[in-house]
Structure 1
């Protein structure tokens, strides 16, 4: 059986197929692999550790000549996603009905979902279509984890004052450190860099499956059409914005589109905001399920959108460095 060959013929197949398989199992037979020991450790609880190892391997491919590019890409994506998500959130607040909803969507849910991205999904997509500096850009993107950027958006809108305690510099360093360790090792020994390069692609289907084991399709039903709509907006507004900006910058636009998702940890954001300001408490429960629905929707829809873009994107005209990236075979150059 040519399983690997078949998966590679599907754009993003090494990521999307294991992810959807894991989500299907978690939805209909959640206890099937939760039997303890090595089985549960690998197939259910491994996403964090495997992504950390992936980032270390990716960091080893960064030389002193391309570290600046990685930071520039990460900062660009972070700003673009925040501006796009905050703009839709501002529109929602401005046009909300008497119940505080915008076409059934809670504005705070829109901001939380659209300004926070699924780092695992980004790493999986970029692992197939991007380069080492694209993968390393995640160290900057980690800044949008949690309610920090949502709070900033609300502060800008004048909806609430600045509240301390939402962002931890230690959390940011904890994400950055595996990349730094890999970068140091790779720059000290080119043979070690080549050895670690072999690990990146192999890890993708395994942590993608584990990510899927954290997704339950039931969240789409509970969040309703409004939650699904938030997920659709997240993919097509923030993903397309990243795609366009990266194309203008002559970087791989597929990488730019890879930020069009909602992270699972964004589900906790509405309650965190409500805890800081009781004015948001009335709609916090509804916002929570809508963000959960957006998380699942983007996990399914974004890889499909990426596949659509891959088939229709010509990298001719990109920088020489970026033009080396392949767009269909699943192979990347480091």
Structure 2
């Protein structure tokens, strides 16, 4: 049975197939693997640990000379994604109907879904299509986790003020530290770095499956067509602009497109915003289900979109020309 050969023929197969299998199990038999012990630890709860290890290994391939490119890519991804989400949110606020909705979408949902990306999905896609400094850009993307950047956008628009506790510097340090440990190891001993790097790709299907165990397809039904629309917009607009931006700069455009997703933790943003400002009560519940639908939609659609873009790039040399040591 040619499992690996089959997965290799599917765009992003090593990531998207395990993720979808995990999501199917979580949707239709959620307790099948939640039996405790090593089974639950590996197949349900391992994503954070494996992503941290993946990040540490990526760090071993970063020299102090090339660290600047990781910072540049990470900051660029963070800023452009926030700017797009904030701008579209402002447009939605300006042209909202009498119910406070734009195309059936709550502006709060648009901002939260489009500014907060799925880090695990980014790591998997950057791991397959990018190089080490692309993976090492991830800690800067973690700054978008939670409601902080959504609150920044709403505050700029005059919709609300800041609230304490919306951003934790220590959370950023906690994400960055595994990468820094890897950088230190790699710069102290290249043999150790090479040994660690040999196994990094094998982590992808395992943490992708675990990520899938956090996805429930019923979220698409609850969010309705408007939630699906939000997911499609997130992939095509933020992913598409990321592709064009990175290509214009001369970086791997597939990595730029890999930001076109919505993170699972964005689902909690409306509740956090509501706790800070009660005026969002009428739309907080609707925004929550729309964001949840976007999470699932982007998790399914983004790898397919990335596969399509990768095929298009093959006509001009593919991603390999962006992944050589001089780029």
C-alpha separation in 1, matches of 2:35 and 2:212? 17
Match of 1:260 in 2: 260
C-alpha separation in 1, matches of 2:322 and 2:176? 23
Question: Which stretches in structure 1 are left out of the alignment for 5+ residues?
Answer: 326-332
C-alpha deviations, 1:220-243, integer Å up to 9, x for none? 000111111111111011001110
Query: Offset at 1:316?
Result: 5.1
C-alpha separation in 2, matches of 1:319 and 1:18? 23
Matches within 5 A, 1:252-291: 252-291=252-291
* 2:11 corresponds to 1:6: no
Contact kept in structure 2, 1:315 and 1:323, CA below 8 Å: no
- CA 108–196 in structure 1, closer or farther in 2 if over 3 Å, else same: same
Query: Offset at 1:321?
Result: 7.3
Match of 1:208 in 2: 208
Contact kept in structure 2, 1:251 and 1:319, CA below 8 Å: no
C-alpha deviations, 1:272-329, integer Å up to 9, x for none? 001000011121111111110000000000001001000001485999972439xxxx
* Number of aligned residue pairs: 327
Contact kept in structure 2, 1:252 and 1:318, CA below 8 Å: no
C-alpha separation in 2, matches of 1:194 and 1:257? 28
C-alpha separation in 1, matches of 2:46 and 2:320? 36
Contact kept in structure 1, 2:223 and 2:293, CA below 8 Å: yes
Contact kept in structure 1, 2:85 and 2:115, CA below 8 Å: yes
Match of 1:92 in 2: 92
When the two chains are superposed, the root-mean-square deviation of aligned CA atoms in Å is 1.8
Match of 2:47 in 1: 47
Match of 1:165 in 2: 165
C-alpha separation in 2, matches of 1:292 and 1:311? 29
Contact kept in structure 1, 2:310 and 2:318, CA below 8 Å: no
Partner SS, residue 322 of structure 2: helix
C-alpha deviations, 1:130-173, integer Å up to 9, x for none? 10000000011111000111011101111112223201000000
C-alpha deviations, 1:184-206, integer Å up to 9, x for none? 00110001100110121010000
Match of 1:230 in 2: 230
- CA 38–300 in structure 1, closer or farther in 2 if over 3 Å, else same: same
- CA 157–221 in structure 1, closer or farther in 2 if over 3 Å, else same: same
Partner SS, residue 76 of structure 1: helix
Match of 1:183 in 2: 183
Match of 1:242 in 2: 242
The ranges of structure 1 where at least 4 consecutive aligned residues each deviate by more than 2 angstroms after the TM superposition are 314-325
Match of 2:113 in 1: 113
Match of 2:312 in 1: 312
C-alpha deviations, 1:42-98, integer Å up to 9, x for none? 000111111011101111111112100000000001111011111111111011111
